[in-house]
Structure 1
């Protein structure tokens, strides 16, 4: 579902990255590991179209996102790429449910309320959906982020250090949720992490 070829990127003449080719199919999980400064988050942003490569290509399904205009890329990303970031960014004045609905409205112009409720129920957040996100634990906030990332049934799910701030129980729960939901939604899942607990949990790995 996603494949890359000969991707390079540079922030300056002194900071250059050359990344290995990636290929994952629907429902597969790939773990990207590596020390600080090796370009893990940079690669994730390239896969999500948040950065453009200096050279090489990134394709999701049949679409080469490297060739899309900014407007086309924004539209494509909203419908086909789900992002789970290390720090959850919510609209603080909105409830949990409203934050998830917002993601569907921004991508499609429609408010998928029933779908959002179903996802939150699936993630054991049914009793939390009318609370403000600030009233939730960090583990619960991370599950809201997963619901928001999945609301548009993306082809690609990208997770940046999704477990680094969680205790063991919640870290394994989030890792299993991401893996199981990517299979259920037939999405490729790419996790960027330095969390040793995840390295022991997924066999398909690339180290930068």
Structure 2
């Protein structure tokens, strides 16, 4: 589902990163760890098409995203890559349900309200759908982010530090939910984190040195 080869990136020629190759199938989970400054977030941004690699290739399904124009990459990302950030960003004036539906409309031009309702219910947010996201707890906001990332049934889920701001119970709940839902939706899941609590949760790991 995702395969990378010989990925390299540099910031102004001063900070250089050479990343290990990745090969991950649908429903599989990869945990990427490493200390500060080792390139974890840079790698995630490369995989999500938010940065262009200096060299190497990233293939998601049958598509080499490095060969896409910016316009086509935006379209591809919206339909095929779900991104979960450490600090969720929502449209503050929209309800929980409206924020999730917005993601489907931006990617496909269709408002998948029924699917959004089903996802939020599965994530335990059935009674929160009409609320503003600012009225939710951090753990609930993270689950809204998961619903938003899954609404278009992406091939790849990327989670950037999804548990670092959560207490133990919510951290493990979110990790288990991500793993369960990636299998259910047939998405490859890559979690980038320095959260040591997750190391015992996933056997498939890469540490950036």
Under TM normalisation by the shorter chain, which class is it? over 0.9
CA deviation profile, 1:2-21 (whole Å, cap 9, x unmatched): 00000000112210100000
Pairwise CA RMSD: 0.3
Report how many residues are paired: 208
Matches within 5 A, 1:163-174: 163-174=163-174
Which residue does 1:194 correspond to in 2?
194
Which residue does 1:207 correspond to in 2?
207
Which residue does 1:20 correspond to in 2?
20
CA deviation profile, 1:115-166 (whole Å, cap 9, x unmatched): 0000000000000000000000000000000000000000000000000000
Q: TM-score, with normalisation over the residues of structure 1? A: 1.00
Q: TM-score, with normalisation over the residues of structure 2? A: 0.99
Which residue does 2:101 correspond to in 1?
101
Secondary structure at the counterpart of residue 164 of structure 2? coil
In structure 2, C-alpha distance between the alignment counterparts of 1:199 and 1:162, rounded to whole Å: 14
CA deviation profile, 1:84-141 (whole Å, cap 9, x unmatched): 0000000000000000000000000000000000000000000000000000000000
Matches within 5 A, 1:38-187: 38-187=38-187
Secondary structure at the counterpart of residue 158 of structure 1? strand
Q: 5+ unaligned residues in a row in structure 2: which ranges?
A: none
Secondary structure at the counterpart of residue 128 of structure 1? coil
CA deviation profile, 1:31-69 (whole Å, cap 9, x unmatched): 000000000000000000000100000000010000000
In structure 2, C-alpha distance between the alignment counterparts of 1:20 and 1:48, rounded to whole Å: 16
In structure 2, C-alpha distance between the alignment counterparts of 1:146 and 1:71, rounded to whole Å: 25
Secondary structure at the counterpart of residue 115 of structure 1? helix
Could you list the structure 1 runs, at least 4 aligned residues long, displaced by more than 6 angstroms after superposition: none
Secondary structure at the counterpart of residue 9 of structure 1? strand
In structure 2, C-alpha distance between the alignment counterparts of 1:104 and 1:186, rounded to whole Å: 18
Secondary structure at the counterpart of residue 200 of structure 1? coil
CA deviation profile, 1:162-189 (whole Å, cap 9, x unmatched): 0000000000000000000000001000
